Each structure stands twice: as C-alpha cells, then as structure tokens.
Amino acid sequence: MFLAFGIGAIVAAAIVWPLQRLPLRTDARREVWAQRVVHGAFRLFAWWAVTLGLIRVSWTGAERLRGRGPRLIVANHPTLIDVVLLLTRLPQADCIVKTAARRNPFMRSIVTGAGYLANDHGDALVDACADRIGRGRSVVLFPEGTRSPRGGLRSFQRGAAHIALKSGCPIVPVVITCRPPILLKGQPWHDVPDRTPRFVLRVEEPIDPARYLDAETTLPVAARRLTADLHMLYERRLSADEGKT
C-alpha cells in the first residue's frame, strides 16, 4: 500500500509540475486544477486498495459533500489515510498540511501546486482559510491537529470554529472509523490485522456557526461553545459505534 502511495505521489507530482507552468489566468485556477489531480490520484489509490481487498470503505451521507461549496469539512483522524479517503469525494479541497510536508521531496510539488496551507501560524491560518472560503473554495481540516489516539479522540483545537465564525461557512463534520484499526499513530505499517479493515465515513448534518453568535457572546466564547458541541458530537458517534462492535 505504501509503495503504491509513493508511486502515486510521484505520478501526481509529474502531472502537477507542468500544470503549474500552464498559462492559466490565475494561480487560483492552477491550484484548483492541481487539487483535481490529487482527487483523481486518491480515487485511483482507493479503488486499487479496495479492489485488492486491502481495505473496505463505506460512506453514509456523502450526498452532503456533493454540489458546489464552499464547505468547511472537519473530521476526526484515526488513520494515516483519512485524508486520502476524504478527498476521493472532494474534487476541490484546500487542505492544511504540516510544514514538513512542504520540504518532503515526494510531496513538495503537489502541496505547493495545490495551494495547500501550512499549519504554522494560528491566526494567519484562520484568516487564510476564511479567505479561501470567501472565494468559494472548500477547506478540510482535522481539529485534533494530529492523528487520534487508538479508539479515542484528542481535545479539539478551536481553529475550525474560528474559521466558521469568521467566514459564516457551515461546518460539515465527517466521523471516520476503521475496524480493525490500521495505520494509527505509532502503529507500524507492517502491523496488518487478520481481517480486512473496514473504513466507515459518516457525513453529518452541517452546523451553522451563526447559531453561536449573538450580541452578548464574544467570539472566543462562541468558538469555545462551537468546539465543545463538535467534540461532543464526535464522542457520541464514536461511543455509539463502539457499542455496536
């Protein structure tokens, strides 16, 4: 799976690199084209992994991701390939990546070509995401900031709430589970379970940030409440899921 991913990244980079040099009218247009290449590459990768029986994938509520954006899509982050599966349903999505990804020789061309944002400056990143949303683009982020602990959830950073409140864009939560777990943080890639891991991605009802704003509520308080509600939603869904297994 890792080999396929590496080869895919090289192929995608080979497509994105000349795209960056095409005489398109704006950088934004180049970025969206590069994002479509990433979407296509990830679809191919997911199809390949499912066809070979390496993973199974099912979606519920995926129609909430169809049609024109902008959307602010947030997800928990149990495994290394969550973003791959998410992007199979999102032809355009601005992702937030670790600064290190911009230095990775496999990733650099794609990350910069697709205009993905670095996660280094909190307030500047919120402004940048709100700006992308203001231009009609969808943004994907993981409010835990890194992969979830085994079977659980980290506390959420408040960036997603701040972006939603600043832009007025609804948050679309996606709850991801993988049973049995693979590619967790700290889990070796060769730690393969004896049955095929099944990914379930549930797209929830969008949350309107306007509900959290009124004349008496300060922005930091609204961001805290929205983040707490979002975290509670994930806790409920994950514990309900745990009860089923």
Partner 1 sequence: MSHPEVSKDEIFKRLRDLLVGGFELRDEQIVPTARLIDDLELDSLDLVDFAVRLEQQVDLEIAEDELKGIKTVQDIVDLAYQKLNAGRP
Q: How many positions of this chain bind partner 1 (CB under 8 A)?
A: 15
Question: What is the 8-class DSSP label of residue 223?
Answer: H
Query: Which one of 68-76, 133-141, 204-212, 218-226 is the stretch in contact with partner 1 (CB under 8 A)?
Result: 218-226
Rounded-to-integer distance, Cα 159 and Cα 129, Å? 10
Query: Which 1-60 positions form the footprint of partner 1 (CB under 8 A)?
Result: none
Q: Is 221 in the site for partner 1 (CB under 8 A)?
A: yes
Q: Is 214 in the site for partner 1 (CB under 8 A)?
A: no
Residues 140-179, mask of contacts with partner 1 (x by CB under 8 A): -----------------xxx--x-----------------
Q: Is 89 in the site for partner 1 (CB under 8 A)?
A: no
The position carrying tokens 């589970």 is 177
Query: Which one of 38-46, 68-76, 83-91, 217-225 is the stretch in contact with partner 1 (CB under 8 A)?
Result: 217-225
Cβ–Cβ < 8 Å for 49, 55: yes
Name the helix (H) or strand (E) containing 43: helix 27-51
Rounded-to-integer distance, Cα 10 and Cα 159, Å? 31
Which residues of 82-215 form beta strands (DSSP E)? Answer: 94-97, 117-118, 139-141, 171-179, 198-203
Question: What is the binding site for partner 1 (CB under 8 A)?
Answer: 121-123, 126, 157-159, 162, 218-221, 223-225
